A and B are shown apart, each in its own frame.
Chain A
Amino acid sequence: MMAGLRVDAGLCIGCGRCVRACGSGGIEVEGRLARPTEGCVLCGSCVDACPAGAISIERGDAAGTADLSSYRGIFVFAQVDGDGRLAAVALELTGRARELADARGCGVTALLAEGAGAGADNAGRLIAAGADEVVRCDDARMALPDAEVTARWVESVARERRPEAILIGATAFGRQLAPMVSVRLETGLTADCTALDIDPGTGLLRQTRPAFGGNLMATIVCPAHRPQMATVRPGIFREPDPDPARTGRVTDVPLDASIVPRVRVLSVDASGPGASIADAERLVVVGRGIGSKKNVPLMRRLARALGAELGCTRPLVEAGWLEYPHQVGQTGVSVSPRVLVSIGVSGAIQHLAGIGGAETVIAVNEDPSAPIFGVADYKVVADAIDFATELERALGERRG
């Protein structure tokens, strides 16, 4: 049977809620009966919206991966940054994979693609964080930032070892790497997850992510294909405390000799504020509530007085008040400061996805119902400029 939207005429009450829930004019009500139009994209909004349970989606028959049960274990791609050190998200994901694997009763394998000559004991750190095995490749062809070569290696290891899931940090590199791997393996990939759970019996991974600019969350599964693949936002899961007593094995798997990098990197400029914001211990993040571009210098001074870096939300970048490398959130930098002072930020979930790693959030907004307060430790209902002016003054007085 072909996939499509089905309306049960016996159940439909013609209320029209499906029509309002549809984003593409894909359903209409005629004669008290809903029916899909040529605009239907099978997004499923109307299914959720129907109070009578009259709408369903017929999936049709499609071939999935053969022999699902032969896929076992969770892979974590361990990103190594330009300086040869593991990205924090690699350890965060290894820790989370350990928890999922314990629930499932399977192993955790970290894939460590080092651009050759990495000095630190990256494999040992991954084992201490929860990996049972580290599959490693030291090869100059793995140099950042072209993900294609690394994708070919991950693909070949996955074909050989058949993991049931592969988790990859949603860094710039990871979000390039993951789709290059998933398309080669012809499996599903969920981008930028903010929550992951596993069914202990089936190993089905429940992957939750923001969509529609963060206004909507969706939980996604990949039931009939393996491996299940997800990129996961940095800073969402806690980096595990290393357990030096853990043991694991390290296996070297070389990159196929025939693979030649096609992208040439002519120069790298790593001097943007992006890196310093990502690593900042203290951060001031400003949003539309600061009113206008002329208030940006006040916010810069305030950040300096606090010994903090300055970040901002996406609308400020789009308005040209600050540059893109300052942008904090799902499409910008992900941060994990000890203290984050958020000023005039309403708190779209996309922005919130980027500050999940902050230890303490102090939020200042004049709207007491702003979503940012939902993730704040301290709530300050105040005008952004009044507050910033007073805080700058208070800090100045204390310093004498």
Chain B
Amino acid sequence: MADGTLHIAVCVKAVPGSTDVRMDPETNTIVRDGGAAVVNPFDASALELALGIADARAASGVPTRVSVVSMGIPSTASLLRDCIARGATDALLLTDRAFAGADTLATTRALALGLARLGRVDLVLCGKMAVDGDTAQIGPELAGALDLPCAVDVRGLVACSEGALRARVGIDGGTAVVELPLPAVATVAKEAARLRMPSISGVLAAEGAEVEVLDASGAGADPARIGLAGSPTQVVRSFVPEQRSSAREIGGTAREQAAAVADIVERMA
């Protein structure tokens, strides 16, 4: 930014407090005991990473703006206010029936519109994945949609300046340290950081803070490219996995069982 402010946008998703799913044995239908919604834990780590960057810059007297942006149902606003209590500067919620039913492509388009609304953003952070969907696709899709370089699975931050992000990322068979010119997108592993608790001043700030709410037309969305209508993929069936059991049981005392297993492993040598 012209005034030297680094602008970080953190994409967050409200997810069920629990991912437990069970089958109603009577009706053979799915029952979700999700509990209250929470910020996806991976996104919480991404927020902490952003707040950590802001702290480090504040110590040397340079400003940072940390925006949180979410596509969700109206009650998601309270989670965004909690993000402000923990240190985020401002929050934007994209909410509209027209956004509902979005797959990762339609979600990416909505988030890209939200990011455009925030003005110039230097660094977009996402959780590596969401605990309910497990796709890990939003970050790289956003990078593609915005044509920005992308670091996936950030395990730890090495450095972040106005010009570049340097981070340790997970790769097949190990880790690597990579450097990306800003603006860029990065997705964050849960282990990278643990989100701080709200401070008293943060809670006070959050009380007065306005969460900007944007509907589809306000965001300038083409209804055919968002929500269910804009989603190429469709779920045709959901089911709780069944267990097949063809295992041979090894009985007896622990000693007898151990001896039998030792035999099996030896035979396979």
Contacts and interface: CB of A to CB of B under 8 A. Distances in A.
A190 B134 CA distance: 11
A375 B150 CA distance: 37
Interface residues of A, number: 126
A377 B248 contact: yes
A196 to B, nearest CB: 14
B232 A147 contact: no
A85 interface: no
B238 A182 contact: no
A190 B104 CA distance: 9
Contacts of B135: 191-192
Contacts of A272: 173-175
Contacts of B262: 391, 394-395, 398
A84 to B, nearest CB: 14
Contacts of A216: 21, 30, 238-241
Give the size range of B's interface with the partner: 35 or more
Given A264-B179, A331-B129, A341-B261, A44 B235 contact: yes
Nearest to B153: A172
B96 to A, nearest CB: 9
A217 B75 contact: no
A373 to B, nearest CB: 5
Given A215-B20, A349-B241, A49 B104 contact: no
Nearest to B18: A213
Interface stretch (B51-59, B164-172, B199-207): B164-172
Contacts of B259: 390, 394
Interface string B21-60: 1101001011110100100000000000000000000000
Interface string A34-64: 0000111111110011010000010111111
B242 to A, nearest CB: 8
Contact of B173 (A222, A274, A364): A274
A381 B141 contact: no
B160 to A, nearest CB: 14
B174 A41 contact: no
A211 B134 contact: yes
A176 B150 contact: yes
B117 interface: no
A393 interface: yes
Interface in A349-374: 349-350, 360, 362-364, 371, 373-374
Most buried by A among B145, B232, B238: B232
Contact of A263 (B30, B137, B151, B264): B151
Contacts of B171: 144-145, 172-173, 268, 270
Contact of B239 (A43, A59, A217, A378): A217
Nearest to B233: A188
B101 interface: yes
B198 interface: no
Interface string B183-221: 000000111000000000000000000000000000000
Nearest to B145: A183
B238 A218 contact: yes
Q: Is the interface of A mostly helix, strand, loop or mixed?
A: mixed
B232 A224 contact: yes
Interface stretch (B61-69, B85-93, B223-231): B223-231
Contact of B232 (A39, A206, A222): A222
Contacts of B24: 17, 20
B149 A263 contact: yes
A2 interface: yes
A321 interface: no
A211 B248 contact: no
A165 interface: no
Nearest to B266: A398
B126 to A, nearest CB: 11
13 contacts: A2-B97, A3-B101, A20-B32, A42-B228, A63-B224, A82-B173, A179-B141, A190-B233, A217-B240, A225-B232, A268-B174, A376-B247, A382-B254
Contact of A380 (B181, B231, B250): B250
Contacts of B143: 148, 180
A148 to B, nearest CB: 6
A62 B230 contact: yes
A128 B268 CA distance: 29
Given A179-B104, A387-B257, A391-B258, A20 B232 contact: no
A17 B30 CA distance: 9
Contacts of A17: 24, 27, 29
Given A81-B172, A220-B233, A183 B243 contact: no
Nearest to A82: B173
Contacts of B176: 145, 265-269
A87 B24 CA distance: 41
